[in-house]
Amino acid sequence: MDKQLLEKYFKGQCTVQEAATVDEWLTAGDTPLLDEFMAEKWEEANAPVVMKPRVPKFWYGAAAAAMIGVIVSIAFFWQHRSAARPVALKWDTLYNSSDNIQMFTMEDGSEVWLNTHAAVIYQSKRYHGEAREFWLQGEAYFKVAKDERRPFLVHTGHLTTTVLGTVFNIATSNMADGSIQISLLEGKVAVSKPDSFNEVLLPGQMLNYADGKQPQLTNFEKNDVLDWKKGKIYFNHTQLADALARLQQRYGCRIVLDDAVRGKKTISGEFSRDMPLEKILSALGYVHNISFVRMNDTTYQAHHK
């Protein structure tokens, strides 16, 4: 067995004989190669770009379908890899491909608000049964209907956020180093990483986690975290690299800044979400003597003036 064949299997590209081979291998017992393959795929979906603002992983067209299919399959096997034999189950995807915020109401009354270019996947059958469980890429706001019998779980990278009924925000693409921010507005949540830590947040607390580092608990300003729900973009002494990472997420683009020193300079300001990206970049560039040149439809390159 090798990772190339697993890639084909999860994308549904195997021949009948290849699929049978993988099925037999999956049901044979301990499969450390599968765990390694899964971990690599999660890291690919959340990996930062060294020395540059993080490039979000967006799902467009055929590439979108392929990536979602792999992530769905990984999510299923991560949760069920000890089962006697894989079983086909129904998954649903909530994806905001628009330039506006979208809100989805689940059948239990829970609300999932997706920022632009964000997506969650979940197993609909289990959601109505024993578990309410999501996998998130991007930024989302959750208002969870209380159900003490069925916890509400959100997976982001290697982290799991567990709640019974509360209001919180998660962002996976707002920081240049690829770190994840979980901000609690109401109630209580537990954020955990297997064999590493389990942190309980109180209202007004944010957990900031970068892979391989200890989590940091800080206080946060509500306007800074929920600016996107108000149609705004707030920068409050924000490092330039992080500001560009947030703009990448909001506008579905790539912004290249190769200067690590300038990336650590701070910026403050408020912009309307409807403002053209070029105007925002012009304002940021004016403060730090940078010009942003549009290289193609989705990429901007920073240059010193």
Which tens digit of pLDDT belongs to each residue from 241-286? 999 999 998 988 899 988 888 889 999 999 998 899 999 999 998 9
Angle at CA of residue 254, ends 36 and 69, nearest 5°: 40
Q: Which amino acid is at 200?
A: V
Query: What pLDDT score was predicted for residue 276?
Result: 93
Residue 16 has pLDDT above 50, yes or no: yes
Predicted confidence band of residue 78 (pLDDT cuts 50, 70, 90)? very low
Tell me the backbone φ, ψ of residue 7, rounded to 5 degrees: -60, -45
Task: Please tell me whether residue 126 adopts helix, strand or coil conformation.
Answer: helix
Q: Which amino acid is at 237?
A: H
Predicted confidence band of residue 76 (pLDDT cuts 50, 70, 90)? very low
Domains detected in the chain: 1-88 (no CATH), 89-225 (2.60.120.1440), 231-305 (3.55.50.30)
> How crowded is residue 20: how many other Cβ atoms within 10 Å of its Cβ?
11
H/E stretch holding 34: helix 32-46
Residue 113 has pLDDT above 50, yes or no: yes
Residue 14 has pLDDT above 50, yes or no: yes
- For the ranges 7-11, 65-69, 73-77, 189-193, the maximum mean pLDDT occurs at 189-193
Q: Which amino acid is at 299?
A: T
Query: What pLDDT score was predicted for residue 12?
Result: 60
Contact present, 181 and 208 (Cβ < 8 Å): yes
DSSP strands (E only) in the chain = 91-95, 102-105, 111-114, 119-123, 132-137, 139-143, 152-156, 159-163, 167-171, 180-186, 189-193, 197-201, 205-209, 216-219, 232-239, 254-256, 266-272, 290-294, 299-304
Question: What is the C-alpha separation between 187 and 169, in angstroms, rounded?
Answer: 12
DSSP 107: T
Task: Please tell me whether residue 279 adopts helix, strand or coil conformation.
Answer: helix
**pTM (2 decimals)?**
0.73
Query: What pLDDT score was predicted for residue 186?
Result: 94
Question: What is the C-alpha separation between 137 and 249, in angstroms, rounded?
Answer: 11
